[in-house]
Structure 1
Amino acid sequence: MKFTDGFWLMRDGVKASYATEVRDIRASADRFTAYAAVKRVEHRGDTLNSPLLTADCFSPAEGVIGVRLTHFAGKRQPGPDFALSGAPASAGQVRRDGAVVELTSGALSVRLDTAAPWTLSFHDAEGREVTQAGRRGTAFVTTADGAHHMSAQLALGVGEQVYGLGERFTPFVKNGQTVDMWQADGGTSSEQAYKNVPFSLHLSPAGAYGVFVDHPGRVGYEIGSESVGRMQFSVRDQTLTYYVVAGPTPKDVLRRYTALTGRPALPPAWSFGLWLTTSFTTQYDEGTVASFVDGMAERDIPLSVFHFDCFWMREYQWSDFTWDPDVFPDPEGMLARLRERGLRISVWINPYIAQKSALFEEAARHGYLVRRPDGDIWQWDLWQAGMGLVDFTNPDACAWFQGKLKVLLDQGVDCFKTDFGERVPTDVRWHDGSDPERMHNYYTHLYNQVVFELLQKERGIGEAVLFARSATAGGQQFPVHWGGDCWASFGAMAESLRGGLSLSLSGFGFWSHDIGGFEGTPDPAVFKRWLAFGLLSSHSRLHGSGSYRVPWEFGDEAVDVTRQFTRLKHRLMPYLYGAAAEAHRDGVPLMRPMLLEFPDDPTTRALDRQYMLGPDLLVAPVFTEDGDVEFYLPEGTWTHLLTGERVRGPGWRREKHGFDSLPLYVRPGAVLPLGADDERPDGDWADGLTLLVAAGAQDTTVTVPDREGRTAATYRVTREADSGPVTVTAADGGAVPEVREW
């Protein structure tokens, strides 16, 4: 939110009170609290009729420093709050040196000079300033409507670029943007977002750091916009807490941030295969579904998951979790027949209960639906007629909702697409007394958590997976997330990728999107180009709105492209699942912006039309019908995975690709484990394993995971010189896989 009118003036009706000088410090061994006057105090009379701002500085985890700013401490705090791990403020160490007080936690410290004008300055292990909250950096602000805001500003260094803030489809680098954390169902072509995460990753020539604003409600960001040299964030509250997260690399930042907010669960290996859906408003029944499955088999396209979208339930009754008996008279038998063909089953759900559903009266009677302040059930006709909203702050409502889903699991369903969860009202009261403004964004976290925990209980820890649309900070624990409603166009394909890359820099390890686009019917060229992109993503789903997405609807070549890249992804599973295990273990995403792997190469910092798939595969989707593509290769000799062509970087390249190809380059010095089984994603990866040794590989250790993400085999690959022979040894002295050199 903007408060100023240019550099000198305030906007009409706005009054800002900035921390100006320190009046007192209270320190313990592991934290300190500073009390700041909002004006210069020349004599005792200046202490009257004037506020103090309180700044608590503490550390919940190594390399993370928290700052809690407070004006009035007596405001009731009903929640919800983000669940953070780590010791509550015990990881730091305070020291005082004359007028300077300093809190240090690992590689990060915050200093406050009590004899100087108010400045909280953050420093790395080398003593270099990372950022600071100086003049106007700590404040409370009142506006013409009587609202009270807490505000902070952190300095942006020369050349510093800002990323993340959730799945945002606006430009990848956030400098110059105004961003509001507020869940909305706005598609992929607007500034609104399904996944709002108040975490930003900062990269400058001096290194990387992160900033997490610990507020689940609306957070207003001005990123080098209102004040071009600063990032401002503000909340409508009496308290604002933020954390600065140490680097020095972007990966280090994500490791620390996800240790604080939660690491993603490891999705089951079968979920990395191809998902096919009925699409959204299309006509379908068991015969239609069978024809799709048969069609894929007849065309030799492996299929892993079949998804039933919303009309598996009766119209006007979403969600009642009951199969439409007129369309699916034998759901248990149908699901059994699909499972006999080796398929997993996904069904669409949402947290809304339509008035026509029999569950509405049941939920209303037991108090499981959100109510207005006057006690009436909150309802509207947008989406479903007379729908209510399940109150997941009520433990009994959570158990009731899980009970309805368990019936589906017992019928043979494996997982759920947890759609919606963004349009959450604020003119309501919640069962646990939560603040409606804070609950608006946080609701999706409760929704996905309830469903994910049921899957873990009923299917097992390693078998739980969602296809979720909305999320906030911490939601990465419940994968997988997909990019929402995009148009069937090259432009929407590019904006979807921007959103996914922003989400990956917000702590989310796994992400997908609707191959071919959701709205409208894609041109065959769009569909075929999107196939390669989609099947070289974390998870891969064919889905649309009013038209089917079976590949033969788009021509024989689309069938060939689907087959080729599905089978390629299956062969890549020993490599991909190792990267997935890293996301689960360390918080480093599977799909990685180039800057994550090459932070010291300035050219990579704005790249948003290419990415690294795991640490060693560069993917540059083609966004044109004629196959022209421009992309960047960092330093070294890169090898094209499909052709074996070697290309030296650094430098920009222009290439032309048919629909069966795209820039897909193996990193210099990498050794890529490649499976022999291209029929399924969860086969025996060790059987027929090949190690692809790229140019520059000289002394490399390669691990191959099992389907629990643990290390199943380790190989050491050595070569004395660039042109010398390759030697491979197994760590356990066992058999050595086939080696293929480029």
Structure 2
Amino acid sequence: MRITHGSYALAKGVTYSSIDEVYEYTYNERRLLAHGIYRHRDPRQPGGHVIKVHGMILTVELSSPAPDVIHVKTTHHAQGKQADGKYPIDNSQYHPLKIEDQKDCLLVTSGNVTAKITKSPWKIEFLNDAGNIVTSSPHDGMGWAQTLSGEYMGEKLMIAPDEYVYGMGERFSPFIRNGQHVEIWNGDYATTSDMGYKNVPFYMSSKGYGVLVNSSDKVEFEAATEEVSAVRFTVPGNELDYYLFYGATPKDVLERYTFVTGRPPLVPKWSLGLWLTTSFTTVYNEEIVTEHIEGMEKRDLPLTVFHFDCYWMKERHWCDFEWDRDAFPQPEEMLQRLKARGLHICLWINPYVSELSSLFAEGVENGYFLKRQNGDVYQIDWWQPGLAFVDFTNPAACRWYADKLKMLMAMGADTFKTDFAESAPEDAVYFNGQSGKAMHNMYTLLYNQVVFEVLEEVRGKGDALVFARSATACSHKFPVHWGGDCAANYLSMAAELRGGLSFALSGFAFWSHDIGGFYGQDADVYKRWIAFGLLSSHSRLHGDSSYRVPWNFDEESVDVLRHFTKVRHRLLPYLYSCCKTAHDRGTPVLRPMLLEFPDDPTCLYLDRQYMLGDSLLVAPIFNAAGAAHYYLPAGEWTNFWTNERKQGGQWVKEMVDYLTVPLWIRENSIVPMGQVENAPLRSSFDNLELHLYNITGAARVDLYDDGRTVTITAKREGNDVLLTLSEPIPGATVRVAGKADAVAISGKEVRVKTA
């Protein structure tokens, strides 16, 4: 929302009151509480003479939940109660502040970041440990606005000429947010606009900090739009609550952010295998499902998860959690037959209940649905007839919903695709008494939390995940998410990657997308998308009205899918260890280039390539000609396919076939690889191969599986590399990239010749 209209005027219908100076303050090691005063002006006097008696107070509280994090909460007309729509952040934890009360300013320090509050005229500067300004809130930055649509609180944080802003959720518009107006408001928007399923009020700056606005209401960002040198954010009401996370690197910022908001859990290793679905509106029954699964086996296409989409239930009865017995007469027996093939089972669900569902009367009787202002159940004729919304702020409704899922898990379901949840009505009445506007974005978080936690309860920690379309802040604690309804063309494929990169910089570690696109069918796009899909954190074949088995496109698609699925299987020890890093530090598996190379200015712009973990650079093909154009940062890189070496710091052009995608390994990398056969279900330590790529100095990898971590280091010593393991791995071998012979590792150390 714009407060101003250009440099000289306020926007139409807006009055804005910002702090003139600190009026009074108190502090201890837990917080600083400052009352900032805005002195009313008398418009009858020349120059708007200040009226000394009158004034408005904004109360600003600074605290710190963790080192390098400053929490800023500003209130107007304190009500003595928390505003609606707060994300589940534990503010009872605190990091002791160091506060210095100087003549002209207050210095509030947490770790390596300091908030410097100038007493008069008011401003806040956020400084790093070297005393340099990271960002600042100027004299007219923080304030209270009256507008034609109500009251708002606002803040303005300055940006530098060479500063770029990223994140704000999964966004398909240009990767860099500068120049964009962003509304944090979830909706069923598909992937073709600047709106999205996963809106997160968090942005990351290229200058070493991130900002989370702690409100699930409609937060609005003006990123270098209203004022080209600032990011303005506004929230409805009389309270503004935000956190500033400082870090020396972008990874550090995400580590601080996910420490405060919650780390992503470790996903099960089986989820890293290939997923195949029934697709959405296709005809499917047990015979067709079995035909597709046997077709994959016959063609040597490894498959780990099979997903049943909406029509496992009877149409217009979604959700009743009852199998359509016409299509699936014996579902329990069918699921057991599929699981005997080594498959895991995923079932589609959503948080809405049709009037025709057998659950509807039960939900009405017990008060499990959202209500209208007059007390009636909130029903609409959209998606399903007479649809009602489960009220996940009601603990009894949560238990009821979870118990229904437990029955499906007892049948054989291993996970659920948690679709929808973007369309909770903003005028609904919730059990917890909070407003529908405040709960609109929060709804998806509560829904996915219920589903994830019941999966974790039944299956145990480390063996639970959902497959969700919508998200908001803190949703990264309940993975996995996929990119929604994209089209089968290269523009949409590129938009999906932009969305995934933005999502990663919003704190989300795991992300997937519909390989080949959801809408439409194009064999060329499908084959190119396969490489992108199999080199993502999670890989799923899913579509709208056509089966996504490769032979439904052409026979070459079968070969391409087989090839990249087996490459993925080889890389699973590496990928699963990346998942453990995500769990430990909050670092995403699929990473924008700037996350690994923050000091390379070229990497700040790149949105058509990415790093998969620390070591692998992937540049998907976005055209029918097979033309690749990508950037290698400084250093020597090794081609995964050919072992060719190439110096970085340059752009590369080449033509590639369907069985190739630009895939380069960073120098000083140890890449653990495993066996192709049944890889998602076997230990990473089984017949492990450690591949060394251009070890010129030192390298390290922490290999995780079976509940244990083995730290592996490599160090260049003349023409040799000394490889050291923190504990022995029986049967493991090491191979220098480009050399034919593997060397057995007996014990905890081995010396490898490189020349």
Q: TM-score, normalised by structure 2?
A: 0.95
Partner of 2:513: 513
Deviates more, 1:627-636 or 1:8-17: 8-17
Partner of 2:143: 139
Distance of 1:704 and 1:719 partners within structure 2 = 20
How far does the alpha carbon of each residue in 1:220-269 deviate from its partner, in whole angstroms, 9 at most, with x for none?
Answer: 10000001100000011100011111111101100000001111111100
SS at match of 2:679: coil
Partner of 1:125: 129
Q: Is the 8 A contact 1:217 1:438 kept in 2?
A: yes
Matches within 5 A, 1:471-550: 471-521=471-521, 523-550=522-549
Amino acid at match of 1:217: D
CA RMSD of superposed structures (Å): 1.6
Say whether 1:98 aligns with 2:103. yes
Partner of 1:224: 224
- Structure 1 residue 330: Cα displacement: 0.1
Identity of aligned residues (%): 46
Amino acid at match of 2:538: H
Deviates more, 1:252-261 or 1:80-89: 80-89
Q: Is the 8 A contact 1:304 1:680 kept in 2?
A: no
Say whether 1:618 aligns with 2:614. no
- Taking a change above 3 Å as real, the CA distance of residues 518 and 44 of structure 1, as seen in their structure-2 partners, is closer
Partner of 1:22: 22
SS at match of 1:234: strand
- Taking a change above 3 Å as real, the CA distance of residues 438 and 273 of structure 1, as seen in their structure-2 partners, is same
Matches within 5 A, 1:377-392: 377-392=377-392
Q: Is the 8 A contact 2:185 2:441 kept in 1?
A: yes
Distance of 2:604 and 2:546 partners within structure 1 = 38
Amino acid at match of 1:202: S
Partner of 1:726: 721
SS at match of 2:494: helix
Q: Is the 8 A contact 1:263 1:585 kept in 2?
A: yes
Q: Is the 8 A contact 1:31 1:93 kept in 2?
A: no
Distance of 2:703 and 2:135 partners within structure 1 = 40
How far does the alpha carbon of each residue in 1:464-507 deviate from its partner, in whole angstroms, 9 at most, with x for none?
Answer: 01100111111001110001111111111000010011010111
- Structure 1 residue 731: Cα displacement: 2.9
Task: Select the residue among 167, 179, 198 that pairs with 1:176.
Answer: 179
SS at match of 1:5: coil
Distance of 2:241 and 2:117 partners within structure 1 = 17
- Structure 1 residue 701: Cα displacement: 3.0
- Taking a change above 3 Å as real, the CA distance of residues 128 and 426 of structure 1, as seen in their structure-2 partners, is same
SS at match of 2:165: strand
Segments of structure 2 that go 5 or more residues without pairing to the other structure are 43-47, 739-755
Q: Is the 8 A contact 1:269 1:707 kept in 2?
A: no
- Structure 1 residue 733: Cα displacement: 5.3
SS at match of 2:65: strand
Distance of 2:587 and 2:701 partners within structure 1 = 18
Matches within 5 A, 1:334-345: 334-345=334-345
Q: TM-score, normalised by structure 1?
A: 0.96
Q: Is the 8 A contact 1:20 1:118 kept in 2?
A: yes
- Taking a change above 3 Å as real, the CA distance of residues 714 and 151 of structure 1, as seen in their structure-2 partners, is closer
SS at match of 1:159: coil
- Taking a change above 3 Å as real, the CA distance of residues 143 and 560 of structure 1, as seen in their structure-2 partners, is same
Distance of 2:159 and 2:177 partners within structure 1 = 12
Task: Select the residue among 716, 728, 737 that pairs with 2:733.
Answer: 737
Amino acid at match of 2:689: T
Task: Select the residue among 180, 190, 195 that pairs with 2:193.
Answer: 190
Task: Select the residue among 61, 70, 79 that pairs with 1:56.
Answer: 61
- Taking a change above 3 Å as real, the CA distance of residues 343 and 175 of structure 1, as seen in their structure-2 partners, is same
- Structure 1 residue 167: Cα displacement: 0.5
Distance of 2:153 and 2:83 partners within structure 1 = 18
Matches within 5 A, 1:584-599: 584-599=583-598
SS at match of 1:33: strand
- Structure 1 residue 164: Cα displacement: 0.5
Amino acid at match of 1:199: F
Partner of 2:753: none
Task: Select the residue among 156, 161, 172 that pairs with 1:158.
Answer: 161
Say whether 1:716 aligns with 2:713. yes
- Structure 1 residue 72: Cα displacement: 1.2
SS at match of 2:252: helix
Deviates more, 1:166-175 or 1:80-89: 80-89
Partner of 1:7: 7
Matches within 5 A, 1:404-423: 404-423=404-423
Partner of 2:265: 265
Distance of 1:267 and 1:137 partners within structure 2 = 42
Distance of 2:711 and 2:11 partners within structure 1 = 63
Distance of 1:583 and 1:687 partners within structure 2 = 23
Distance of 1:78 and 1:433 partners within structure 2 = 12
Matches within 5 A, 1:307-706: 307-521=307-521, 523-706=522-705
Deviates more, 1:48-57 or 1:59-68: 48-57
Q: Is the 8 A contact 1:702 1:717 kept in 2?
A: no
How far does the alpha carbon of each residue in 1:631-674 deviate from its partner, in whole angstroms, 9 at most, with x for none?
Answer: 00001110111111111111111111100001100001111111
Distance of 1:554 and 1:57 partners within structure 2 = 58
Distance of 2:541 and 2:349 partners within structure 1 = 18
- Structure 1 residue 14: Cα displacement: 1.1
Distance of 1:662 and 1:639 partners within structure 2 = 14
Amino acid at match of 1:140: W
Amino acid at match of 1:150: M
Distance of 1:483 and 1:319 partners within structure 2 = 23
Distance of 2:50 and 2:292 partners within structure 1 = 81
- Structure 1 residue 54: Cα displacement: 1.5
Distance of 1:33 and 1:730 partners within structure 2 = 51
Distance of 1:63 and 1:700 partners within structure 2 = 28
Amino acid at match of 1:650: G
- Structure 1 residue 78: Cα displacement: 5.9
Distance of 2:52 and 2:470 partners within structure 1 = 48
Distance of 2:549 and 2:696 partners within structure 1 = 41
Q: Is the 8 A contact 1:20 1:135 kept in 2?
A: yes
Amino acid at match of 2:725: A
SS at match of 2:337: helix
Distance of 2:579 and 2:680 partners within structure 1 = 13
- Structure 1 residue 61: Cα displacement: 1.4
Distance of 1:78 and 1:682 partners within structure 2 = 47
Q: Is the 8 A contact 1:61 1:86 kept in 2?
A: no
Distance of 2:612 and 2:243 partners within structure 1 = 29
Deviates more, 1:298-307 or 1:52-61: 52-61
SS at match of 2:636: strand
Distance of 1:687 and 1:90 partners within structure 2 = 43
- Structure 1 residue 592: Cα displacement: 0.5
Q: Is the 8 A contact 2:72 2:241 kept in 1?
A: yes
SS at match of 2:263: coil
Distance of 1:475 and 1:404 partners within structure 2 = 22
Q: Is the 8 A contact 1:200 1:506 kept in 2?
A: yes
How far does the alpha carbon of each residue in 1:261-290 deviate from its partner, in whole angstroms, 9 at most, with x for none?
Answer: 111111100000000000000001000000
Q: Is the 8 A contact 2:592 2:611 kept in 1?
A: yes
Aligned residues: 732
How far does the alpha carbon of each residue in 1:10-38 deviate from its partner, in whole angstroms, 9 at most, with x for none?
Answer: 12211111112222222223321222222
Amino acid at match of 1:139: G
